[in-house]
Amino acid sequence: MNVSGPGGTAGVGAVSANTWSGASRREGGPGAVGRMQSAIGAASQLLNLQPSELVSQLGTGQSLASVAQSQGVSRDRLLGAVTKAVAAAVPQGGTPLNAELLAKISGRIADSTQVPKSFSTRSLG
C-alpha cells in the first residue's frame, strides 16, 4: 500500500515528511500530531513502556509494530490499541474517521519508524 502526498509517494514503511504532513491534510485535517500522541500513549501503556522510551526506540529506526513484537505483543493487538486511540483523538466537534480511513491511518502509524518533528511526549507522562 502506498500513500501519495503533495510531495510524492511514500510506502507504508517509508520514512517521509508526507507520511504525516501531506497525508494528514487529505485524511482528516491537521490532527496528525494529536493522533500520533494518542497512539504513542496507547502503545506505551500496552507495551508497559514510558512514552519517551518508546519514542527513543522509534528514533533507532524501529517501528511501533517491531517494538511491540520485541515486547511479545502481536501486531493485531497493537493495531487494536492504536485504532482505538486514533478514533478517540478526533477533536470535539470534528468528524469521526470512517473505518477504512481509520484502519489506513492506524496501520501507517504502526509501521512508521519516525514521529513528526513537532511531536512531544510531555503531555503523555
Q: What residues does each domain of the chain span?
A: 33-115
Is 50 exceeded by the pLDDT of residue 25? Answer: no
* Predicted confidence band of residue 19 (pLDDT cuts 50, 70, 90): very low
The pTM (predicted TM-score) of the whole model is 0.70
- Residues 29-58 have pLDDT tens digits of 447 778 888 999 999 999 999 988 998 898
Show the cell assigned to 108. 501507517
d(CA 121, CA 55) in angstroms, rounded, equals: 8
Is 60 exceeded by the pLDDT of residue 16? Answer: no
Is 80 exceeded by the pLDDT of residue 123? Answer: no
Residue 80, burial from CB neighbour count under 10 angstroms (0-12, 13-18, 19+): middle
Residue 121 has what pLDDT?
58
Among 12-16, 26-30, 38-42, 83-87, the range scoring the smallest mean pLDDT is: 12-16
Q: Where are the beta strands (DSSP E) in 12-57?
A: none
